Chains A and B, each alone.
Chain A
Amino acid sequence: EIVLTQSPATLSLSPGERATLSCRASQSVSKYLTWYQQHPGQPPRLLIYDASTRATGISARFSGSGSGTDFTLTINSLEPEDFAVYYCQQRVDWPLSFGGGTKVEIK
């Protein structure tokens, strides 16, 4: 099973700041890395697939980069609605697996 390790576990930032979230895979996942956002009490929402392609309707504040084993989700100029938990997910091998999440909280 491919293990995804997200860091940091918690990121404390102020609105307007930039968030940089990391996802590291235990083996190469090529470009097949997806990012989701989840607010409390809500299901996850697709943000980015294939490492860098924004899903429909997702703000350009969100950008993804990386390939192989190291990936980054960047959120420019944090808005109040961006404070949430973010998960990565790989789709290169069974079983499909998720990272443990990074919580972006208001400082």
Chain B
Amino acid sequence: EVQLVESGGGLVKPGESLTLSCTASGFTFNIAWMSWVRQSPGKGLEWVGRIKSNYDGGTTHYAVPLDGRFTISRDDSKNTVYLDINRLTTEDTAMYYCTRSQCGPGCPGLNWFDAWGQGAQVTVSS
């Protein structure tokens, strides 16, 4: 069974930093591409960024409006993907979901998300 378990969420103050972790099981993590998607009541679902497998170069891609404050990394030895968020603002308050990204044979187009974790709640408030 595919499982994604996020951790590291919580209440933080504006300007602080936070690292979310997502530990995967039930599939071959080291060839998987992974993404983070967040959801807030005001903005709905918002894609944050993606990291390819190291086999495919390990490159990352982010949603531009996030101002370079977000960094995705992975540790295949731990089956874990991370999301670092710097200089948090109240606008970052959301549920953050870890997802497995797919793009089909030959990878035409970009990604859809075929597995989701339960999410990690991040609340930014003074």
A residues apposed to B, CB below 8 Å: 30, 32, 34, 36, 42-46, 49-50, 55, 87, 89, 91-98, 100-101
Contacts and interface: CB of A to CB of B under 8 A. Distances in A.
9 contacts: A32-B110, A43-B97, A43-B116, A89-B45, A96-B47, A96-B63, A96-B110, A97-B47, A98-B47
Interface of B: 35, 44-47, 50, 61, 63-65, 97, 102-104, 108-119
Given A44-B45, A95-B64, A100-B44, A30 B116 contact: no
Contacts of A34: 112-113
B44 A30 contact: no
A100 B31 CA distance: 31
A36 B104 CA distance: 17
A34 B110 CA distance: 11
Contact of B116 (A44, A95, A96): A44
A55 B110 contact: no
A94 B114 contact: no
A50 B104 contact: yes
The 8 closest A-B pairs by CB, nearest first: A43-B116, A98-B45, A96-B47, A91-B110, A34-B112, A32-B109, A95-B63, A49-B112
A92 B97 contact: no
A95 B118 contact: no
A87 B110 contact: no
Interface centre among B46, B47, B64, B65 (most CB of A within 10 A): B47
B119 A43 contact: yes
A89 B47 CA distance: 10
